[in-house]
Structure 1
């Protein structure tokens, strides 16, 4: 699913009206109908609902929603329209006239003084002050209204975006001055700002409402950001052919584990094999042989010369992918071995965990990363590599810059993990759940991505597929065990089932 900026969304709205031979008010009615249906499905007709509308089209949406709720028997709807400049948008003015034509409607138009209504936690507020067309932070009276809503404890439903939040970047926005919604109902596609952790307090739960925007225009319109769903992954997966052997599905070399950290190597190796790699070899500290050969007998073991940690990362055979990092530690000899690997490796490379921490301690190693290397940092690892970032938004901007500069693929792990390509395009993941915030889950992800590279997938596609499959396996585990009970091995054990679910989806 493409994620469009506000300007392109306005162009798509206009193209929809032309293609479907409707005017903008009809499109507004369509949007309001979808919002009204969602509210009706959640609240009974006796619920007190306070509608706060601004002077633009977002306000028009809110006025239309108020009218539709009243027409459906909601008798406790109070409407406040802020028209302090005396200028409403054309569509907002049309919806205002339609609303006040209803007998006994509780409608207040604020042109100067605003006597705020009493709001409590028992009430519902529909926020239609400003949508994604806003071009500057809320100020003056509008900022006061946002704070009034936030302090009331009422359940807040925002239309399009919470008022005061921009659809894309919010570097200079003070979030306490933004309406804090419990539910945000947006149209057709999500907004970029929804994917940043700091904005969750404002966005709350968000849901996309289909208002039948022109599919042909959507298909032709370019977007730098995409939300990856099952329907995006399914065409990328190749079925297994009948007349094939294990070498047709690639050989993966995994540099992982050390004394006390062999579980990381086990998780990574198991995930690699569960996702279809034909062969997996683990190179690790000599002490790890009995652990690996017992826990993952399907994997081969290549002992390091050192008993308790990896001191040599030489690649002795032909492998389709090399993975390095899970559980290797950050000893100087290990970092030296990693530097030698970066200089000499010929196969595609996936780096995670302590490989990234070694590079952070020796920043000159960044220059040695081979083109199209996949790195999979969580927020802390990313900041150690590229400098501390204050917000998720800043971190993504930095990731886009670094992926382009080093010609690498950055898998920035989060609730909506972002796969950042060297082209500048970003793919947000839609699968996964908080139960996956557990030790070893990242080691599993490294194995998943590596497995798809081993099978001949391009590194950028392998990262996109791998992150989605990993999240889906976590969802399958959580549905059976519950989020609190998920551990990394539960995720790896369901990887095959996750792949099968995507392949068989319609």
Structure 2
């Protein structure tokens, strides 16, 4: 699914008006109908409802929604803040203002100067339609006071499209005093980029996307660098297995992982790789791991390192179709040297995680040796170890994007909406996963999945996108069946088969 910036959304609207064709006021009515339907599911007509509308098109959406709610038996008190120096409303906001007045509404107040706030109580509902994603400057003056007033009330707050005061993309200076804090954000057509950053969840609350029917051709023709991965996106890339095949047709992954006291990481990654379809998996680990691996993962081949407790070298034999390195591998002079030597020799697709990333953090020169389209899978701490501290999720994404483009690699920045930064500057956010997956070993499982997909012949871009989505789907199944608190990395591995089956059902729908 494409995601669009604020500027791109304006173009989408214009193209929809042209291609349907449809008037802008009618498109606004379509948005209001979607908003009204969702609000009526959430708020009963007997609750006190306050609608705050601004002078632009976000305010127009709010006024149109107020009129439709009146028709359903709601009795909203509507406040239109027309306090700009020119006292001019946008064209469609003005038209919806006239339409609302024509209903004979008794509680309609157009604020042009002083505002006397109503006495809002716990259990009341506020609909925030002050400003949309096109806001250019932070809230100031009376609108700052209004945002503070809304936030200090004990009402349930619903924001239209985006909480007022929040920008659609980057919010480096977002202040709790200058942004409305919504309990529910009803966003139109697609999520805003800002919704994927942890620092903004204090403002957005729960987010629900409402389809307002923007023209498919407009969506197809409008370029973007941002995407949200869904099952439909994934299923079209999944390979279909032919009847007359054997294990060699599904690749051979070499997994370099484990050290004394950390063999469990190699076990988890190997299991994940095998349960994601690799025909063969060889685990290259120190000799101390032999008994554990042969017992815990008998399906995997054991490739003994010359080291007894730590990996001292990583082979890149041509019989392997892909390599994965890092889980539990350790980060010392020996492992750094082994990684550097591997990068000089490797010709196969490669994914690096965990201690391989910590090796890079200790010796940044390794970055220069990464083969094109190598996949790195850092979590936040690992990213900052390699590239320095960042102040927000938005800054971390910018960092990951810069690194991916600079070194021609793929960076999988793990988190609530894992973001995959591609070498061409595009970003793919993941739509699966849950907080139960914040558990030891979860990243090792992801490494195994991605490595397995690489071994099977998926491109690095496909392996990263599909691997992250499948990993999250398996975690969601585990959480749904057992509860988020129960989930361990092993539970994610155990649900990989169900995850693939669930995704493939999209092909039959």
Per the normalisation by structure 1, the TM-score is 0.98
Q: Is the 8 A contact 2:156 2:183 kept in 1?
A: yes
> What corresponds to 1:25 in structure 2?
25
Q: Deviations over 1:212-235 (max 9, x none)?
A: 110111111111000000000011
Q: Is the 8 A contact 2:328 2:355 kept in 1?
A: yes
Aligned-partner SS, 2:228: strand
Shift in Å at residue 415 of structure 1? Answer: 0.5
| Partner Cα separation in structure 1 for residue 356 and residue 497 of structure 2 | 27
Shift in Å at residue 120 of structure 1? Answer: 2.7
> What corresponds to 2:379 in structure 1?
378
| Partner Cα separation in structure 1 for residue 384 and residue 177 of structure 2 | 26
| Partner Cα separation in structure 2 for residue 27 and residue 314 of structure 1 | 60
> What corresponds to 2:490 in structure 1?
489
> What corresponds to 1:79 in structure 2?
78
Output aligned runs, 1:163-312, within 5 Å: 163-312=164-313
Q: How many residues align?
A: 505
Q: Is the 8 A contact 2:12 2:218 kept in 1?
A: yes
> What corresponds to 1:359 in structure 2?
360
| Partner Cα separation in structure 2 for residue 104 and residue 4 of structure 1 | 36
Higher deviation after alignment, 241-250 or 311-320: 311-320
> What corresponds to 1:44 in structure 2?
44
| Partner Cα separation in structure 2 for residue 61 and residue 104 of structure 1 | 17
Shift in Å at residue 56 of structure 1? Answer: 0.3
Long gaps (5+) in structure 2:
none
Higher deviation after alignment, 229-238 or 19-28: 19-28
> What corresponds to 1:437 in structure 2?
438
| Partner Cα separation in structure 2 for residue 21 and residue 405 of structure 1 | 43
The 1:89–1:337 alpha-carbon spacing in structure 2 relative to 1, beyond 3 Å, is same
Higher deviation after alignment, 359-368 or 16-25: 16-25
| Partner Cα separation in structure 2 for residue 414 and residue 408 of structure 1 | 19
| Partner Cα separation in structure 2 for residue 413 and residue 436 of structure 1 | 11
The 1:176–1:383 alpha-carbon spacing in structure 2 relative to 1, beyond 3 Å, is farther
| Partner Cα separation in structure 2 for residue 152 and residue 87 of structure 1 | 29
| Partner Cα separation in structure 2 for residue 119 and residue 263 of structure 1 | 56
| Partner Cα separation in structure 2 for residue 161 and residue 316 of structure 1 | 53
Q: Is the 8 A contact 1:4 1:189 kept in 2?
A: yes
Aligned-partner SS, 2:177: helix
Shift in Å at residue 317 of structure 1? Answer: 4.9
Q: Is the 8 A contact 1:348 1:373 kept in 2?
A: yes
Higher deviation after alignment, 162-171 or 228-237: 162-171
Q: Is the 8 A contact 1:99 1:105 kept in 2?
A: no
Output aligned runs, 1:113-124, within 5 Å: 113-124=114-125
| Partner Cα separation in structure 2 for residue 456 and residue 93 of structure 1 | 57
Per the normalisation by structure 2, the TM-score is 0.98
> What corresponds to 2:6 in structure 1?
6
| Partner Cα separation in structure 2 for residue 56 and residue 451 of structure 1 | 51
| Partner Cα separation in structure 1 for residue 176 and residue 104 of structure 2 | 39
Aligned-partner SS, 2:25: helix
> What corresponds to 1:420 in structure 2?
421
Shift in Å at residue 175 of structure 1? Answer: 4.1
> What corresponds to 2:481 in structure 1?
480
| Partner Cα separation in structure 2 for residue 193 and residue 159 of structure 1 | 15
> What corresponds to 2:468 in structure 1?
467
| Partner Cα separation in structure 2 for residue 394 and residue 116 of structure 1 | 37
Higher deviation after alignment, 95-104 or 284-293: 95-104
| Partner Cα separation in structure 2 for residue 74 and residue 503 of structure 1 | 44
> What corresponds to 1:61 in structure 2?
61
| Partner Cα separation in structure 1 for residue 113 and residue 353 of structure 2 | 58
RMSD: 1.1
| Partner Cα separation in structure 2 for residue 437 and residue 173 of structure 1 | 27
| Partner Cα separation in structure 2 for residue 470 and residue 121 of structure 1 | 41
Shift in Å at residue 504 of structure 1? Answer: 2.1
Shift in Å at residue 21 of structure 1? Answer: 2.6
Shift in Å at residue 351 of structure 1? Answer: 0.4
Shift in Å at residue 104 of structure 1? Answer: 4.3
| Partner Cα separation in structure 1 for residue 496 and residue 132 of structure 2 | 40
Shift in Å at residue 170 of structure 1? Answer: 1.3
Q: Deviations over 1:159-201 (max 9, x none)?
A: 0111011111112333431111111111111111110110111
Aligned-partner SS, 2:171: coil
Q: Deviations over 1:112-165 (max 9, x none)?
A: 111111223311110000001111111111111111111112111110111011
Q: Is the 8 A contact 1:399 1:410 kept in 2?
A: yes
Aligned-partner SS, 1:298: coil
| Partner Cα separation in structure 2 for residue 237 and residue 183 of structure 1 | 35
| Partner Cα separation in structure 2 for residue 352 and residue 408 of structure 1 | 13
| Partner Cα separation in structure 2 for residue 311 and residue 11 of structure 1 | 56
Q: Is the 8 A contact 2:144 2:177 kept in 1?
A: no
| Partner Cα separation in structure 1 for residue 450 and residue 190 of structure 2 | 27
| Partner Cα separation in structure 2 for residue 169 and residue 487 of structure 1 | 34
